[in-house]
Amino acid sequence: MKFGYFDDQNKEYVITTPKTPLPWINYLGSNDFFSLISNTAGGYSFYKDAKLLRITRYRYNNVPADTNGKYFYIKDGDTVWNPGWQPVKTELDSYECRHGIGYSKWDSSKNGVNAKVLAFVPTDDTCEINRVVLTNNSSETKELKLFSYVEWCLWNADDDMKNFQRNFSTGEVEIIGSTIYHKTEYRERRNHYAIYSVNAPIDGFDTSRDAFLGAYHDNHDPEVVFNGKCTGSEAHGWSPVAVHQINITLNPGESKSFIFVLGYCENPVDQKWESKNVVNKAPANAMLAKYKTDADVDAAFAKLNAYWDDLLSIYTVESNNDKVNRMVNIWNQYQCMVTFNMSRSASYYESGIGRGMGFRDSNQDLLGFVHLIPERARERIIDIASTQFQNGSAYHQYQPLTKRGNSDIGSGFNDDPLWLIAGTSAYVRETGDISILKETVPYDNDMSVATTLMEHLKRSFDFTVNNKGPHGLPLIGRADWNDCLNLNCFSEHPGESFQCFGPSEGPVAESVFIAGMFVKYGEEYAQLAELLGDTAEAGRARKEIKIMYDTVLKEGWDGEWFVRAFDAYSNKIGSKECEEGKIFIESNGFCSLAGIGVKEGLAEKALDSVKKYLDCKYGIMILQPAYTVYHLELGEITSYPPGYKENAGIFCHNNPWVSIAETVIGRGDRAFEIYKKTCPAYTEEISEIHKTEPYVYCQMVAGNDAYIPGEGKNSWLTGTAAWTFCNISQYILGVYPTHKGLSVDPCVPHGFGDFKITRKFRGATYHIEVSNPSDVEKGVKELIVDGAHVEGCIIPITEGKTEYNVKVVMG
Ligand code: GLC
Ligand code: GLC
């Protein structure tokens, strides 16, 4: 069952009922000012950091769900309604919400009045614009009252929801004309304030939440709105809000438009005040001056659309498959941008006050983003590498505002270092910019011990070389990619962190998954060394890789699939010898995609086993059989009920590894079958089961052992975005950036047909036409670049050339 449809022409998902199974959200903003916004206008805004500079207040896990946001109330006689339906929930005569690329729109009607709302963050400003257009479609004159509403957060979102003894006394505002200034803590250490303004004279305002709602009311039935009259309250402490009241007369057929601006403003520390306790309004005035008229808003909106059209023109496909086109050309890339911006901080499942930027997560996010804005990827790589330790290990997370490693979590996730190679290699392959490898980068932010980035990569590589266990496989530490496989932690008491409890460095527990990563990213490291002319280092690296390859086949092969790990007692995990958790996805996906066992025929066997034991209708489960009891020696993975999260859930993030592995051995049918199972454009049809937004990936879908298999959770901020984009764009459609140029080597299902790809790469545009006359899954029979036949499947780069016309014949 669907709750809307894709409008590919406008790059929008159109939601046709407010009663979606879960709030379906969108993100506004691409640089510093961000908003989360749901289909019922719930959500919140923040500047740069969702924890420390939260602008509006949100209540996670609220009842009813998602009932705080940027609301507009329309009072028409005795009827009060919201264009987004919530929070009053008056049944609407019509409702439509369009989530687009960097904006959301509503078009709703009640009793002959139509409201159109457009919400977006301009590309180069620290504000969100909400334009509200009201039209009278009835035959009588309407006397309407429009109320706006936001609730301010007292900046530090964590403190805001805990420290009431202080917070109920600190709130401060100023009201000047149609602008409400939120200036809590401005008198002391802050030099920033927020504003909410409208480009029209107002007939009233409120800034005290209690005055606006009335005692024992909530934003579903605010007294002020139902009474039709603001009280003019000035907030001192308690909970400051911003409410405007505008009385509107609309003749039949008449429309009126109002532009609301929610902004973040900063002053230099020595210019904070206009006069005693009166904030300097210069930045606010400058901002508001830019969005006075509809023409201003139209221009800013056109600029936003042009910005995105440009980004999304870097990789486009035209195939016979609409769903593939739509995911590749629009939604998957959009989600990659959002995950790059947010890491795992702010979604409807990540509260914005928890995790900072993950070392592993951010490197993977880069893989799907680097082609969009390589300069930002470059900066991110340097930031990440700056938190690495001198021995090559890494802080598991760092804080985006300070860019410093987070010592609460510390290090010891032994896959982390290798992801830095993955991210850097993707950047250099995309851009050819080897200067990044020579950048001087600190360790743990200490410049006195800085080295080149290439030396950082060497230490990443050697961290694995120097930290092997009894089978010669990499030590796992606190966990590897699977944060919940905690083989050295042995946590027995509730409240302890599964990951941070116990020793971080077990001398014994080993990861076959990290071994697969080492083979894959070790080779990418060797190629970077070669690019710098260091063939000796490349040779040394390849020797180490060979040793690891052989070790995996000798110690990590279980007969029909790859073992997952060895625990602290050196017992196998993910083996036929185990009672539960006999087979895992990660080692099988990653070792196979790294090429381990391909020529020996073992990768094929491993992937067959994955299909046989781990596949289900909704994707590939992380492991089988699910763990039914808690195992002290395995940690958090066994804490989840069967079928959820890392205990046999479908972790969408690692499904593309298996799909990619299938392309490595040339099985396009199976690679695509896996792609389809978790692909939003395909799961849209079962939205009532899947529940999360049908235009983006979620982290986890409940597996076969769960109460409701197929139910999705934790949408938006997941490594799934980047990995599925790599899978479909670089492996299935097959356009992969190499150091020597673009390689085109598709691996498609039978019947996929011919397709065209436009790819901008290193200053040139490639027009690639792939034909598949004999309907094969893989194989390039002929590559013709501007009429000339080329050997192999890499398009050689010609200096200065800006257009390439490429024909690829599969066969
Ligand atoms: C979460 C984490 C990611 C981890 C995965 C599996 O998505 O953000 O770092 O790899 O879970 O545990
Ligand atoms: C929990 C989650 C896991 C996530 C981790 C991040 O363990 O289950 O998915 O990666 O927290 O710290």
pLDDT value at position 506? 72
Query: Judging by beta carbons within 10 Å of its beta carbon (0-12, 13-18, 19+), is residue 440 exposed, middle or buried?
Result: exposed
Tokens in use for 433? 């910019």
138/580 Cα distance (integer angstroms): 66
Inform me whether the pLDDT recorded for 33 exceeds 80. yes
483 lines ligand 2 (CB under 6 A): yes
Query: Best mutation site among 639, 646, 650 for ligand 2, i.e. most ligand atoms within 8 A of its Cβ?
Result: 646
Instruction: For 595, list phi and psi in degrees, rounded to 5.
Output: 95, 0
Over residues 603-627, mean pLDDT = 98
C-alpha span between 605 and 588 (Å, rounded): 10
pLDDT, one tens digit per residue, over 186-219 is: 999 999 999 999 999 999 999 999 999 999 999 9
CA-CA distances (angstroms) from residue 547 to 554, 666, 684?
Answer: 10, 26, 45
**Which of the ligands is closest to the CA of residue 654?**
1
Give me ligand 1 centre to Cα 480, in Å.
Answer: 9
User: Using an 8 Å Cβ cutoff, are 197 and 64 in contact?
Assistant: no
Minimum-distance ligand to the CA of 482?
1
- CA nearest ligand 2 atom 12, residue: 483
Phi, psi angles (nearest 5°) of residue 14 = -105, 115
Catalytic residue among 160, 361, 365, 483: 483
What is the structure's pLDDT at 16? 98
Residue with CA nearest ligand 1 atom 6: 482
50 is written with which tokens?
């969702």
Residue with tokens 């047909």: 753
| 350 CB within 6 A, ligand 2 | no
Q: Ligand 1 pocket test: which of 365, 511, 647, 653 has the largest number of ligand atoms within 8 Å of its C-beta?
A: 653
Measured in Å, residue 397 CA sits from the centre of ligand 2 at 12
Mutational pocket test of ligand 1: of 344, 345, 361, 720, the residue with most ligand atoms within 8 Å of the beta carbon = 361
Confidence of residue 607 (pLDDT cuts 50, 70, 90): very high
- Which tokens is 161 given? 């929801």
Whether the pLDDT of residue 113 is over 80: the answer is: yes
Q: Specify the pLDDT at position 408.
A: 86
Burial of 249 (0-12, 13-18, 19+ CB in 10 A): exposed
Q: Quick one: average pLDDT of 272-288?
A: 97
Determine the average pLDDT of the residues in 464-470: 98
Confidence (pLDDT) at 45 = 98
Task: Evaluate whether 183 touches 174 at the Cβ level (below 8 Å).
Answer: yes
Cα(355) to centroid of ligand 2, in Å?
10
Beta-strand runs (E) in 361-445: 397-398, 440-443
Dihedral angle computed from the Cα positions of residues 755, 761, 766 and 770, in that order, rounded to the nearest 10 degrees:
-30
Residues 6+ apart with CB under 8 A from 755: 317, 318, 319, 320, 733, 770
* Confidence tier at 610 by pLDDT (50, 70, 90): very high
User: Do 668 and 679 contact (CB within 8 A), yes or no?
Assistant: no
How do residues 303-317 score in pLDDT, each as one tens digit? 999 999 999 999 999
Confidence of residue 735 (pLDDT cuts 50, 70, 90): very high
Query: Which ligand minimizes its atom distance to the CA of 365?
Result: 1
Instruction: Tell the residue nearest (CA) to atom 11 of ligand 2.
Output: 483
Q: Is the CB of 248 under 6 A from ligand 2?
A: no
Q: Is the pTM of this model over 0.85?
A: yes
* Closest C-alpha to 56, from 165, 141, 168, 149: 149
Note the pLDDT tens digit of each residue in 537-552: 999 999 999 999 999 9
C-alpha span between 727 and 65 (Å, rounded): 35
pLDDT-derived band at 325, boundaries 50, 70, 90: very high
Q: What is the pLDDT of residue 409?
A: 87
* C-alpha–C-alpha distance, residues 127 and 37, integer Å: 14
Instruction: Tell me what pLDDT residue 689 has.
Output: 98
For the CA of 483, the closest atom of ligand 2 is 10
Q: What angle do CA 319, 323, 329 make, to 5 degrees?
A: 70
223: left (phi over 0), alpha (psi -120 to 50) or beta: alpha
pLDDT of residue 355: 77
Give the nearest ligand 2 atom to 396 CA: 12
3-state class percentages of the chain: helix first, strand second, coil last, to nearest 5:
30, 30, 40
Quick one: which H or E segment has residue 668? Answer: helix 668-678
570: left (phi over 0), alpha (psi -120 to 50) or beta: left
From the CA of 653, the nearest ligand is: 1
- Which ligand places an atom closest to the C-alpha of 415? 1
For the stretch 471-525, pLDDT in tens is 999 999 999 999 999 999 999 999 999 988 877 667 899 999 999 999 999 999 9
Q: What is the pLDDT of residues 676-723, one digit of tens each?
A: 999 999 999 999 999 999 999 999 999 999 999 999 999 999 999 999
Is 342's pLDDT higher than 90? yes
- Determine the distance separating the centroid of ligand 1 and the alpha carbon of 699, expressed in angstroms: 9
Which atom, in ligand 1's list, is nearest to the CA of 718?
A: 7
Q: Which residues lie with the beta carbon below 6 Å from any ligand 1 atom?
A: 344, 358, 360-361, 481-484, 646, 653, 699, 718
Which ligand 1 atom minimizes the distance to the CA of 484? 12
213-226 mean pLDDT: 97
Ligand 1 atom at minimal distance to the Cα of residue 361: 9
Helix (H, G, I), strand (E, B) or coil at 547: helix
C-alpha 657 – ligand 1 centre gap (Å): 14
Q: Which ligand has the minimum distance to the alpha carbon of residue 719?
A: 1
CA 486 to chain centre: 25
Question: Given the CA of residue 409, which atom of ligand 2 is nearest to it?
Answer: 12
Whole-number pLDDT of residue 672: 99
Percent of the chain with pLDDT over 70: 100
pLDDT value, residue 378: 98
Burial 540-559 (b: 16+ CB within 10 A, else e): bbbebbeebbebbeebbbbe
Establish whether residue 645 lines the binding site of ligand 2, counting it when its CB lies within 6 angstroms of any ligand atom. Answer: yes
Averaged pLDDT for residues 754-759: 98
Q: Which atom of ligand 2 is nearest to the CA of 640?
A: 8
Closest residue by Cα to atom 10, ligand 1, is: 481
Cβ atoms of residues 647 and 715 within 8 Å: no
For the CA of 646, the nearest atom of ligand 1: 12
Nearest ligand by distance to the CA of 354: 2
Q: Is 636 in the pocket of ligand 2 (CB under 6 A)?
A: yes
Q: Would residue 221 show up in a list of annotated catalytic residues for this protein?
A: no
C-alpha 413 to ligand 2 mean position (Å): 12
What lies within 8 Å, CB to CB, of 592 at 6+ separation is 516, 562, 598, 603, 606, 607, 658, 661, 664, 665
State residue 504's pLDDT score: 64
Regarding the beta carbon of 396 and ligand 2, being less than 6 Å apart is answered no
**What average pLDDT score do residues 759-764 get?**
98
Euclidean distance between CA atoms 44 and 236, whole angstroms:
22
Whether residue 209 contacts residue 146, with contact meaning beta carbons closer than 8 Å, is answered with no
344 touches ligand 2 (CB under 6 Å): no
Q: How many CB atoms lie within 10 A of CB 526?
A: 22
The confidence band for 147, taking pLDDT boundaries of 50, 70 and 90, is very high
DSSP type of residue 562: B
Cα(411) to centroid(ligand 2), Å: 15
Query: Judging by beta carbons within 10 Å of its beta carbon (0-12, 13-18, 19+), is residue 791 exposed, middle or buried?
Result: exposed
| Phi, psi for 24 (deg, rounded to 5) | -105, 115
Confidence of residue 295 (pLDDT cuts 50, 70, 90): very high
Let me know: does 33 contact 264? Beta carbons within 8 Å. Answer: yes
Percent of the chain with pLDDT over 90: 97
For ligand 1, the distance from its centroid to the CA atom of residue 483, given in whole angstroms, is 6
Tokens of 620: 């590939």
With tokens 């800006």, the residue in question is 802
Atom of ligand 1 nearest to the CA of 485: 12
Helices 332-342 and 294-312, packing angle to 10 deg: 100
Helices (H), 190-281: 209-213, 223-227
Distance 640 CA to ligand 2 centre (A): 11
- Gyration radius (Cα) of the chain, Å: 28
Pocket test for ligand 2, best of 483, 637, 714 (most atoms within 8 A of CB): 483
pLDDT score recorded for residue 473: 98
**Mean pLDDT on 563-585:** 98
Q: Which one of 343, 357, 484 would you pick to mutate in the ligand 2 pocket, going by the greatest count of ligand atoms within 8 A of its CB?
A: 484
Residue from 483, 638, 652, 698 whose mutation best tests the ligand 1 pocket (most atoms within 8 A of CB): 483
Name the 3-class secondary structure at 204.
strand
Lowest mean pLDDT among 57-66, 119-128, 190-199, 402-411: 402-411
Computed over every residue of the chain, the mean pLDDT equals: 97
Among 734, 740, 700, 735, residue whose Cα is nearest residue 716? 700
Range from 506-510, 521-525, 526-530, 628-632 carrying the lowest mean pLDDT: 506-510
pLDDT of residue 505: 66
Looking at this protein, which amino acid is placed at residue 355? Answer: R
How far is the C-alpha of 378 from the C-alpha of 383, rounded, in Å?
9
